[in-house]
Chains A and B, each alone.
Chain A
Amino acid sequence: MKKLPSAASHRVIKLTVSAAIILILSAICFIFPLRPTAAEIKDNKLTEFPEFTVSALTSGDWFSDISLWFSDTVPFRDTVKKIRSGLSIAFGDREANGLNESVTENTSEITEAG
């Protein structure tokens, strides 16, 4: 009968798989030509890499904008968004921005905030 890997080997495999996922995703994010400059579907201008100014640096805005650029221009952005929309069916609508419960005299009307 084939022997299962030892506990130490199991840990090595687990660590390798998780670390590899992080490193591969990280490497993809740093392949700059893969970063989109406009959304394929909506054709909106995405966040650009922030311009460096001393005031932006000291206020922290420059770093925050880098973080925003990094997230907003992730490679395969629109594919990622489509998958996430699918997940929202199970885990709730993340784009929800308020719940407007308008009540008329006789019935509760269904309206939802934008």
Chain B
Amino acid sequence: MVFSSLTFLLAFIPAVFICCFFCKTTAARNIVLLVFSLIFYAFGEPVYIAVLVFLSLCCWIFARLTELAGSKKEKKLWLTASVAVCILSLMYFGGSDFLIKIINSLAGAELFSATVTALPLGMSFYILRLISYSVDVYKGKASAQKRFYKVLLYASLFPLAVSGPVVLFHETENELTERSISLKDVSNGLTRFATGLAKKVILADGCAVAANSLLFPGASLSDTALLSENVAALSGKSALSLWAGAVFFMLQIYLELSSYSDIATGLGLASGFHFKENFNYPFTASSFSDFCEKWHISLISFFRDYIYSPLCEAKSGKLRQISALFITCILVSLWHGLSSSFLLLGIGAFILLAAENFIFAKIKDKCKPIGRIYLLITVFFGFILFRADSIAVFINTVKGMLCLNNNPLYTKVALNFIAGYAVLFILSIIACTPLIKIIKKNLIKAGENNLFANVIYRVCDIASPAVLIILSVLYMAASPEKAFGYFGF
């Protein structure tokens, strides 16, 4: 099941909240959320629920053993076992196909055939949650749960299923046990959910159609296996198509990820969970380091707190810090996928972060306007590589952007097409900035002394979630469920 579907909005969500409404205790609400979370996972891949339950059970058992262990050595043993089970499962489902291809190509014959074609829904994310649980218990930041269903709920919570945020166990332990749901939270949660949903189905999906049309003829993002074969067709694209397509793709990925975070945060809030913000207008960052603090904050924080910080002890030298940074960047890129393009992205991120923090640290934040331009250029080409999914396609795309493929600078077809998406483009750009937030803040402030402004604000505040839901339903009805660009994780 995807968030941007009528089934989710008009069948699943009403069922969840009606059932939760009749629950008197947190424990009862937890059971309801657990059942519906498992139904959510079952909707796509019922067989793989067994994987989720098995891994949660392993981590629950190992965490209990960690807490009961007498010595630090024994604690470390159970932690290692827990993390190993998680990592090996992720490697099997996410990396075995890639590794088999490498072995077969090195051997020059098909020694092995791929057995796993896709990662189970949300596996990359629930693995991180389970690792967080195991490590938090080991470090004493959280207690090992006596009841298995709480660990399973934490791992499977449906708002977090598709794209995070990566909620650390110690941050949510108290709310798993006892939480209150206020009217303010439910109201804000529903608004946030409606905003995220509209951002996804109207803006992100629109940008996806534009990007797919401009960059690749008819190929969808899900057909990444075919993209390399489209290199020849890509060569015929005008430079304008490629530039515009790349911009739309950049907007698509940010809007999809941030919309899913909005949906998760909104649903969490309405259920009594207070998740941290996951995006903070990353395209307004003034350096790559700043961008990493604003983009998928929970994911970057996880790797920083659980990989970089332990590797990089206090008062360690620069060499150790740089090594820790390198390992962290490579692990983040491998988490996204086992491919040469992701590895290249990881290395690129390391070079930028190392340069900014160890060579240009003093001048990094001196000139923010130049920093913003540098950041946008860097991230822009990074997204092209992410989209290309192969170095050959990336190089061909960049050559095309510079008219080095004997392709034209622009065509009337491309101009007309892009003009048709002008309104979408402007709204998408606005959605990437805090402009709406600033307008709302100013309207509230003006409303304190001005009745008209107050009325305008109240009417807009009441109507906007409803209007966004109706528009979302119009877009979702009678149309196929759009693939989510980040769905492979």
Interface residues of A (CB under 8 A from B): 4-5, 8, 10-15, 17-19, 21-23, 25-26, 29-30, 57-60, 63-64, 66-68, 70-72, 74, 77, 80-81, 83-84, 87, 90-94, 96-101, 103, 108, 110-113
Contact = CB atoms under 8 A, between A and B. Distances in A.
Contacts of B110: none
Interface string B20-51: 00000000000000000000001111110000
A96 to B, nearest CB: 5
B10 A25 contact: yes
Contact of B5 (A30, A71, A92, A97): A71
A60 B10 contact: no
Contacts of B475: 84, 87, 94
A64 B413 CA distance: 36
Interface of B: 1, 5-7, 9-11, 13-14, 42-47, 183-184, 186-187, 190-191, 194, 202, 205-206, 209-210, 212-214, 216-218, 236-238, 241, 407-408, 411-414, 416-417, 420-421, 423-424, 427, 451, 454-455, 458, 461-463, 465-466, 469-471, 473-481
B213 A18 contact: no
Contacts of A11: 183-184, 187
Q: Is the interface of A mostly helix, strand, loop or mixed?
A: helix
A12, A14, A74 — most chain B CB neighbours (10 Å): A14
B46 A15 contact: no
A67 B480 contact: no
Contacts of B424: 90-92
A67 B473 contact: no
Given A29-B10, A108-B408, A113-B218, A10 B206 contact: no
A18 B217 contact: no
B183 A8 contact: yes
27 contacts: A5-B458, A11-B187, A13-B462, A14-B191, A14-B461, A17-B462, A18-B191, A18-B469, A21-B470, A22-B13, A23-B14, A25-B473, A26-B14, A30-B11, A63-B43, A63-B44, A63-B46, A64-B43, A68-B480, A91-B202, A92-B421, A92-B423, A96-B213, A101-B414, A103-B411, A108-B408, A108-B412
A67 B217 contact: no
A77 B9 CA distance: 17
Given A25-B10, A77-B478, A101-B236, A111 B413 contact: yes
A111 to B, nearest CB: 7
Contact of A14 (B42, B462, B470): B462
Contacts of A13: 462
Nearest to B218: A98
Nearest to B183: A11
B233 to A, nearest CB: 9
Contacts of B466: 17-18, 21
Contacts of A77: 477-478
Nearest to B417: A99
Contacts of A64: 43-44
Contacts of A23: 14
A83 B44 contact: no
A66 B205 CA distance: 22
B213 A70 contact: no
Given A29-B11, A72-B478, A74-B6, A101 B194 contact: no
A21 B465 CA distance: 10
A64 to B, nearest CB: 7
Contacts of B187: 11-12, 14-15
Contacts of A8: 183
Contacts of A21: 466, 469-470
A114 to B, nearest CB: 9
Given A91-B423, A100-B217, A103-B236, A71 B476 contact: yes
Nearest to A17: B466
Which 3 pairs of residues, A with B, have the shortest CB-CB distance? Answer: A98-B218, A92-B421, A98-B217
A59 B5 CA distance: 20
B7 A66 contact: yes
Contacts of B1: 63, 67
